[in-house]
Every structure is written in C-alpha cells, then in structure tokens.
Amino acid sequence: QVQLVESGGGVVQPGGSLRLSCAASGFTFSSYGMHWVRQAPGKGLEGVAFIRYSGSDKYYADSVKGRFTISRDNSRSTLYLQMNSLRAEDTAVYYCAKDGPLLAVNFYYMDVWGKGTTVTVSS
Amino acid sequence: QSVLTQPPSVSAAPGQKVTISCSGSNSNIGNDYVSWYQQLPGTAPKLLIYDNDNRPSGIPDRFSGSKSGTSATLGITGLQTGDEADYYCGTWDSSLSAWVFGGGTNLIVL
C-alpha cells in the first residue's frame, strides 16, 4: 500500500543540524511532488518545503529559507530535509506528504501523509 | 498569524450540521484550489476534500467543500462524536511561493 515513513528526528542543540528522511513505497515516487509540513507542540500545521516531482524546483517557507534544504533521490524513492542553524522555534513534528496529481506542474493537495518524526531543539 | 483565517473552534450536537470557514486573498484561495484536512488527536492529518469540492475515496458524503472568491467552506452533516478533531484548510500562495494552511478549527461535538 501507499506509505511514507519519516526518520531522522531527535534532540539537537540550537545552531545544530539534522537531516530528515522520508521513505516512500507503493507508488511511483518520481512522478509526484512532495512536501514537508511541521507542527509545533500544541500549534497548527505549517508548510515548510516543497519540491516538484523532477526535483528541478524547490520552494520554502520564509521561516526556514536559507537554513533548510529539501531534496529527493528518485532512484531511492526517498525525500530529504537538511536542517541547519536550528532554533528552538523549529521544535515540531515533521511530516512528509505526497502531492496529489501525477506529473503536476504546481502543488495541489496532500493525499498521503507519514506518521511524522519529532525534532526537538534544546540546550 | 496564519495566512488563511479559520475560526478557532466550532461546536454542534450529534446529528446536526456544522460549517467551517476559511478566508484568504487573491494570491491564495482566489487563485488556486483549496483542500481540507482532518487531524484526529495524536494522529497525522488526513485529506478530506481536494480541489475545492472533491472527496477522496473512502470519505463519506457527510463531508463537503465549496469555494467562492477568496473564501472556502467545509460542511459536515450528521455529526458524530468521532468527527471531533482539528480541521485545516490549505492552498498554494502564489505571492509567497509556498503552501499555506489556516490556523485550524477544533470541532467539538457536544
């Protein structure tokens, strides 16, 4: 079945780095855009980073621009989020999500979500 | 402060109907499709409505969506206690070049 499994979360000190992974299965990963979405404790959802199916175009929320990098390895069906210069306000559950339409030029909706991985930034 | 505005909470009795509003601008809702997500306590969000008014397979027709101008609405009829959750609207914002969500609405089924 279609599945996304995140990994790589943990506790890191302010200013540190972490790399999240999202392993996809059950669908042709290389044909779909992908998203990273986070949720701080007790807060709502925040779109963090987005990448087109080919990996050619990447977009970021202003809150992470210049610090986070989204990438994908279509040969491994894996999505990544490299997080540098981490701050306390980056503490959240990070979800990866699949975009809906096949070979879409834009981003339309998130039809499959992983269970999330927790990132805690604390000294 | 979220780009899309939702009421923090709504409530209704079992069997009743409720609507949740989502207000945006010309650079987001006014320019693109809206989707809705349900997040039950302690779980990942789930897609409820896509492309303004379409339901994925497996989502009951008690859930409906609509859009007009720069606002969208989620409707839920025949409320059940199992519908108690947080609901989020979302869409692409062409000015920000980013996906934006509403702040979320907590549905309470009294």
Amino acid at the residue A122: S
Strands B63-68 and B71-76: antiparallel
Burial B27-55 (b: 16+ CB within 10 A, else e): bbbeebbbbbbbbeeeebbbbbbbebeeb
pLDDT of residue A103: 83
At residue A106 the predicted structure's pLDDT band, cuts being 50, 70 and 90, is confident
**Is pLDDT above 90 for A102?**
no
Please say if the pLDDT value at position A101 is more than 90. no
Give the per-residue pLDDT at B78: 97
Tell whether B9 lies on the interface with A, counting CB pairs under 8 A. Answer: no
Q: Is the pLDDT of residue A105 over 90?
A: no
Contact A108 B96 (CB under 8 A): no
Q: What is the pLDDT of residue A104?
A: 84
- Render pLDDT for A13-57 as a digit per residue (tens, 0 to 9): 999 999 999 999 999 999 999 999 999 999 999 999 999 999 989
3-class DSSP state of B30: helix
The DSSP annotation for A69-102 comes to EEEEETTTTEEEEEE-S--GGG-EEEEEEEESST
B88 close contact with A: CB closer than 8 A: yes
Nearest CA in chain B to A39: B44
B103 touches chain A (CB under 8 A): yes
Closest CA in chain A for residue B47 = A111
What does the pLDDT look like over B17-73, one tens digit per residue? 999 999 999 999 999 999 999 999 999 999 999 999 999 999 999 999 999 999 999
A72-95 pLDDT, tens digit each:
999 999 999 999 999 999 999 999
Residue B1, pLDDT above cutoff 90 = no
Residue A97 confidence (pLDDT): 98
DSSP B50: B
Distance (Å, whole) CA B11 – CA B27: 30
pLDDT confidence of residue A9:
97
pLDDT interval class at A107 (50, 70, 90): confident
Best mutation target among A45, A64, A115 (most B Cβ atoms within 10 Å) is A45
Q: Is the pLDDT of residue B3 over 90?
A: yes
Answer whether B24 touches A (CB < 8 Å).
no
CB contact under 8 A, B88 and A44: yes
Whether the predicted pLDDT of B80 surpasses 90: yes
